[in-house]
Chains A and B, each alone.
Chain A
């Protein structure tokens, strides 16, 4: 059984088909990129996979559970337990330190554990910046805090929305290397991007256009390493 499976998924707003009969399978431990131009339905797809929205039609099976049929309350629970979110604009709480931002995800999941949060920051190489506020961190560092926050509750899937969209080349490389490390550890990664270079690092790239799944590209030479 696939970890994630989309079966004939539609998302319709009036006359607009944001997603139009999309079928997709993601296996456990796989690294998949979702690519496409603006308005292709990438964000809509991410919202549905991230349990923040429901499809108009179709099934979305996450670990065997059809999340399309779940209540908002259950979706919150599933999102909390199974999904780790990474955003293009980081979305760190600006009055909390890096460590507290990581602990925030623990707080809403179970119980904040300072040591565990510190270990997550160590994994992303930011142990020495734990006490800093987001405004005292560079963009790349903020994104790494965001990755640590996404990892802290051991989610089934890390869902990253344009994770390198706001980063310079150097930080982009650091973040992609981090993804590679996570993938090597067995983490399932779904990365939404419009950057072909970032997309091509993944094992498989899914291309969306006008809400339809246009094509899938398997990276035969997958190494997970990133070269500009």
Chain B
């Protein structure tokens, strides 16, 4: 009898039920789309922000102290180095998968043929790395300096070019009259030789006066085999909160529970801490401008998405409220009759609730899949990539749809509770 009544109403009021399902579907689709983007936007925005370069720099501990004392950012003291053979350890930390790219740097000087001195930096260019974990990856400057404008020639490719390939800044190229394809003679403290200019770049800063070459060659020029002055790391991070700020100041001040939470969250300070654990005598620190921008943009983007989700859900609840109340009013005689026949309020409400829940399930499922589609449209139009649909979205959207449906039904249920059979059956 119960199912007969539910089925009767669903078929009899199919237009109204369709409208309710549509309203729920609309709310569920927006909710699914926005939450999908919110859950994935962190990675997407981080990927976008990776174009602005590394967000973590690693220098020797002693050099870091000198930097702090003399406020010389990004420079390293001449006599202390990091070990090149430890570089692969960076990809073995807890948050290894969040390390998008990294590159070591050796800073030295060389003498040109005209007797002038030039800054030379050795680094990786599409450097293929085989890690002890069995993982293979390509790392280097090409993506860490993606904003460089290559004005002539091309990026160095370690796989296909000689070790003597170098890139020079356009200011130096102008001063020396050299361009891509030319040869430049450099004399270092330990070695001298001719180098082929693979490309000329414009970085818009001091680097335009420098020469960039492969790490091994720079080490050979200066006799710094196996040594690295600094490492730049590009990592996907979670925006800092109070815990992260506290931990960044002093991880030992955290309780065990706080420490575990912090260590197992991809805060920039947590990743820095873990890098320090695997690189001997190093200090890893966040490049604050990049890290802070990431945090601010992420927070604002997520807030916007969450606000849209809330508004969509409130809109749905109001729509459901109107439609369900109208449905109940339309059926007031029938509901009054069953009350007169001896039905308790809960017995009167249960078929109504069942009808709405069936409608909500239909609308919710349709809305969920539509929302996945919307999310992909947003992903491709805004981030040029797909939005990952996380399984946790299913319970979240289910709970939200149910909450919104119940909230939308509250006025209708109040109407049922107040419904007097005497009024609806024979007008009082």
Contact = CB atoms under 8 A, between A and B. Distances in A.
Interface of A: 43, 47, 50, 52-53, 73, 76-77, 79-81, 85, 87-89, 91, 93, 95-96, 100, 103-105, 107-109, 112, 149, 161
B342 A52 contact: no
B160 to A, nearest CB: 77
B422 A91 contact: no
B338 A104 contact: yes
A80 B340 CA distance: 8
Interface in B95-111: none
Contacts, number: 65
B352 to A, nearest CB: 14
Contact of A77 (B337, B341, B342): B342
Contacts of A89: 425-426
Majority secondary structure, B binding face: helix
A79 B2 contact: no
Interface in B265-308: none
Contacts of A91: 333, 337, 340, 425
Given A100-B4, A161-B426, A76 B420 contact: no
Nearest to B344: A76
A79 B1 contact: no
A105 B12 contact: no
Contacts of B147: none
A93 B1 contact: no
A79 B422 contact: no
Q: Which of B5, B337, B343, B421 has the most CB of A within 10 A?
A: B337
B340 A52 contact: yes
B40 interface: no
Contacts of B340: 50, 52, 79, 85, 91
A88 B337 CA distance: 13
Interface residues of B, number: 26
Given A85-B341, A104-B338, A52 B422 contact: yes
Contacts of A105: 341-342
The 9 A-B residue pairs whose C-beta atoms are closest, nearest first, are A80-B342, A95-B8, A107-B1, A108-B343, A47-B422, A52-B422, A91-B337, A108-B342, A108-B341
Interface in B405-428: 420-422, 425-428
Nearest to A97: B4
B8 A76 contact: no
Contacts of A103: 1
Interface of B: 1-2, 4-5, 8-9, 11-12, 333-334, 337-344, 347, 420-422, 425-428
Contact of A96 (B8, B342, B421): B8
B3 to A, nearest CB: 11
B341 A96 contact: no
Contacts of A112: 1
A150 to B, nearest CB: 9
Contacts of A52: 340, 420-422
Contact of B425 (A81, A87, A93): A87
24 contacts: A47-B422, A52-B340, A53-B422, A73-B344, A76-B344, A79-B340, A79-B342, A80-B341, A81-B342, A85-B341, A87-B425, A88-B426, A89-B425, A91-B340, A91-B425, A93-B5, A93-B8, A95-B11, A96-B5, A104-B5, A104-B338, A105-B341, A105-B342, A108-B342
Contacts of A109: 341-342
Given A52-B420, A112-B1, A87 B426 contact: yes
A88 B427 CA distance: 12
Residue among B9, B341, B347, B425 with most chain A CB within 10 A = B341
Given A112-B1, A161-B426, A93 B344 contact: no
Contact of B426 (A43, A80, A108): A43
A108 B338 contact: yes
Contacts of A47: 422
Contact of A100 (B1, B344, B427): B1
